[in-house]
Structure formats: C-alpha cells, structure tokens
Structure 1
Amino acid sequence: MKIGIVGFPGSGKTTLFNALTGQNVPIGFGSKVNLGTIKVPDSRVDRLAQIGNPRRVNYAEVLFADVPGGRGSASLDPQTLGKIREMDALVQVIRGFSDDGTPPNPASELRSFEAELILSDMGIIEKVIERLRKSRSDAHQLAILERCLAHLETEQPLRTLALSDEEKAAITGFTFLSLKPILFVLSLPEGAPVDALPEDLARVADEKNALVVPICTAIEAEIAALDPADQAEFLADLGLGEPAVTRFVQAAYRMLNLITFLTFGPTECRAWPLRCGSTAVDAAHSIHSDLARGFIRAEVIAFADFDRYESEAACREAGVFRVEGRDYIIQDGDICHIRFNV
C-alpha cells in the first residue's frame, strides 16, 4: 500500500515526509518522488514481545511517497496528477503558517486542491461517457459514470458518493483521484496550538468525509532526526508523551481500512496489515501463498485474552483458544497460527 503525501508547493509536504521517515530530503521544487517505509507503532506488539521475548519483533509497515507539488504554481500539472494517480491513498498537507508575509488560508487551500482532483476526474469521465454512448458497449458502466459525473458537478469528490462495492469495481480501472481515501494534515508553525482546528477547516473536511491532523511538521522533523534516547528527552522538554507523527501514522493506517493480525512464537512476533473484512485464508495468503493453498485451519486467540492469560496453554484452559475455518473474518488484534499442508 502506497500513501502519497500531496499538496501545493510550499505547504510542508517534504518536511512531513522527513518527520515520518527520519530522512533529510532537501526542501524545494524537486521532481523526484521520494519513498520511505514507516513502521506502524503498536502497543500490542510491544506487549507480546515483553511476554515472549522473541528473537525478532516486526511491526506492520506502510509506504509513504513524497509527491512533488509542481513548479510553484497554484495548480497541478498533468505530470503531478499522474504521479498522484499511482497512489492508493492520499495525505494532503495544508499550509497553516505564514509564508513570506502571506497568511495561511487552510480551508481555501483544501478546497482548491480538491477542485484540481475533481476537474481531473471530470475530464476523464466526460471522454469515457462520450465513447460509451457512441459504442453502446457497456450500459451498466455508462450509468455509473453518469452518476459520478453528476456528483462531481456539485463540486463534491467521488469518495462522498454512495457507491456499492460492485459499482466501485466497475470503475476501479480509471483510478479516479477524488475517489481515493484522503487524510488532511495542517502544517503548523512552532509554538502553535495543536489541539484545535480552525472552524472553517474542520467544517470543510467534514463535508469531504475526511479527518484533519494538526502537526508542527518542522518540530516533528527535528525530533525524527534525533537518536531514540535524545528523542525521549526532547519530547519530555516539550511536555509530550509521543511524537505527533505516531498518531498520524495510526490515522493513516485506519484510513486505508486496514486491521492488524498478529503471529507470535519464540522466533518472531509480527504484525501483519490486512484489509478489514478479510478471511482467515486471506490472512494466510498475506504470510505466504503456500499457507493459503494448503490451508487447514486457523488457531486464533484474541489479543485481549492473550494479554490476560499470557500463554497459549492458559488460553486453552480458559476456553478462549479457538479453531476457525477458511471463511472466518479476521478481527483486529487476532493472534493467528495457520495450520496447512502442501
């Protein structure tokens, strides 16, 4: 899964990317997409590692991409839109600080960026509709696209349109920009309060069916560049328990509609990302295709139960150890052991 960090030039995209990854990508109008893999903080993994002391501990990971915002223009060029189209989900960084004396206008910036995505989608849909009307080849897809176009004409993104899973599948090949899940980050200056949003920004984000996370990106980038021991001291001096980017990464993970299942043993404790609603055999496949091909059963313990009893034997005795079939829907925090035969 790839999350694109997007926005207009000068909004703080690369600063956020550096804060997330600990990298030191130069700030400016570059044309390169920078990539960084982020571990998703998870106290459940920490607890399992504490209980079992496995040799390896691995957290779930998400790939972030710092997408260039263009060459200083207040609109997005086709090349930038094409790069955004490659992403599975988006994080729009919105300027919340003064720039060369220009005060921020976060709500307006959010609307303007969304308008760019909407216009791009409209241009594609209009061409496809024209082709389908001439060929009369797919009346079902045509009807869906006409609904989409009517919705976009109200200046609303496609993510706010009620589409069934079947309807989404019918148009997935077009990779519409305004259909992608999105999270907004308000990039604040040092010393700005992060516990309240401008009222107009909160209202617009709610209309767009999205969440806003306020972050002092420059401070967070400074924290990320420190050694872990120095990070703790710096956070304590600021009166913070954890970096704001920790909350952001967890919010981005939820935005992707992901849950976490866990595998645990003396060799390794590992968190695995999985789409919400996935089955036991889907979980098996995410570990290795052989496990899915030869799936027999999943042995499952909820994390809360393991946290309480602290061993498989005690969970069995308490009656919270379960055996599930291939169609079992994996729940967030399930500890799974896949039995298979190939």
Structure 2
Amino acid sequence: MHSMNPSAGSTVALAAALRDHFANVVLPMWRGAGFNTALKLPYEAVSAENRQPLPAERYRAMACARQLFVFSQAGDAGHAQVLFDSLMHTFQDTRNGGWFYSVDAQGAPLDTTKDLYTHAFVVFACAEFGRRHGNPDALETVHRTSALIQSQFAADDDLFNAALSADFGRVTGTPVQNPLMHLTEAWLAAREATRDNAFDAALRRLAGAVARHFVHAPTGCIAELPIDAADNRLEPGHQFEWFWLVRQAGGLFDDSGLVESLQRAFAFARQLGVDETTGGVYASLDEAGQIKDATQRIWAQTEYLRALASHDDAAVRAALPRQITLFEQRFLRPAGWFECKTPAGDVARADMPSTTPYHLATAYDALPS
C-alpha cells in the first residue's frame, strides 16, 4: 500500500483509502479462502503468507457472529444470510437453551460452556442483520437471547457472570469487564434495531453496575477485573472502546457517572497507553499507568481511531489524519493486516483471525466520509 503523509489529503480521503482496502482485500478473503464452504463457517484464521486457512481445530460461535455483523453491515445480504443460518443450526443448544462456545472441525459441539461474551455477540450480530436486512428471525433471536442473558447470567448488584456450565447450573466465571462491555454494545445495537425501550432500562442498570464495580477512581478507567482484585490491569483499547459506547448511548448513561470518568480515562489512555512516535496502542497498563503488556494489537489501534473520530474536542480530532496514516503504515498491508506487533514493529502474531474484520468495520464506519 502507498504510504500517505497527513498533508496529502483530508481525513475523509485517508478514511476512504482504509474502506477501499477493506472492501477490496479484507471482505473477499472471508468470502473466499477464509470460508469453509462445506460447514458454511468462517475459518478461525488464515495464514499471512499464502492467505490459506490454518488447519481447523474449532469454530467459535462468536467468530461466526462477528462475521455475520461484518457482512450485514457491508450490505452483503446473501453471505450474511448464510452466516445467520449457520449460527442458528450449528451453535444453538436446543436442549438447554443459549449457544455453545465452539464446535469441532466436523461441526459437532466442542466447548459447551455458556459464555456471556459469545451470547453478547449473538445479540449484537443478529441486531445488525435484523435491522439492515429486515429479518424477523434475527430480531426474535435478539429478544430471546437477551431474555436468557437476564435470567441465566444474572449476578449480584446488576452484574452478569462471565461463564456458566452447559446447563446454566454452575457459575464457572464471575463478572469481568470485557463481556459486560460487549453486552453494552449488543444492547445498544438491539435498542436501535428493535426500538424496544426495555433495552434502555437494561442498559441503565448495566452502566450503573459497571460504574460501581469497575471504575478505577484515580484515573476514571474501566478496569478489567472488579476494583480491588489482585493484579488488575487497565487496557487503553478498552478505554477508547467504552468512550465510544458511552457517546453512542446519548443521555442514557448520564446518571451512572461513566460519561465523566471516561473523559478522564480517554486522556489517561492516550497519554500513557499510546507510543508517541509510532502511534501504537499498548495492550495494558497497571493501575499506576506503567506499561504491563507492551504488545500492540490491531483491535486497540482501531478503537483509538474510533474514539478520536467521535471526540467532541476539535483539538483531539485534529490528531486523526496522522493517526490514520500511522495505523495504515504499521498495521495494514496489501494482502491484509498485521494482527499484533511489538513496540519495535516486529510481527508478534503472523496469522489473520476471522474476528478482526469486525474491529476494522466498526472503526472505519465511525470515520468521516
């Protein structure tokens, strides 16, 4: 790809180049070599070398759901319908309700854990598919899965457990940040798709619970584990992601305190979690703001772009052209992308997972056009 200097074009032109790469390189990869036509599922990852799928050991419901979102958003109703049908036929637990975490290389249930992160992505993807392509089965799935989350995953004080046994009888993972963030994202999408104001009340309760249990008071950051947990960490990428979600919620979260805390979290993550020279966003910081994991994962870069684009301070938004340019030079390549890099710029993960196009799609959608 040609490298671009910020003065060479406006943010709009820079963003258009990212979208072109997505439409002409990324999407065809997942309609083509990255798609198992026998099982009608996306492979978990393709090789960066030859763009062929890596040998399949499993297929995750979450990965299928993310691809359903991506192709729904891209307007490819045909491929989205195939993915929706596969989600319904391959990953539904018809005996206990809900969704399996994964199936094996032959498509038989593998990990039957009931995983909140997975259930959130089913809601999110079906909301997008239902809204864009008018599919009533998808919207029914949004309501049914949301009701199941509220009844089966509920934990103390409006939180939700991260994981349960297959029959929902035993908690195997207590509340952590990441699934709660994706549940927030899913219910915001569900609210838009269904216009059902029951989602407003659910979102308000969830935002209040996150504020009470996860906001790190000194920085405003939303921590990965409940506050006071041992060896907690703050992920800059998640501060940027939450910043965006809270902006999407309009006035819905005003009483939670999240709006104010995430303004501080954005500034903290930007100051201490982004390499000034390369623009690379680090994986995690400790509670004092020291780098805990210096790996630069592509998803955190896309969340930074999205947060910059949605910031109400024009001086902050002015950093966007340079950041897009640094992102394009460091993380995209003519045949795809680099999933993870070290601070020095070496490739830390060589394959391209099927889950990443969702991060590219959501970021590019938020950039000016």
Q: Which has the larger radius of gyration?
A: 1
Structure that is richer in helix per residue: 2
Structure that is richer in strand per residue: 1
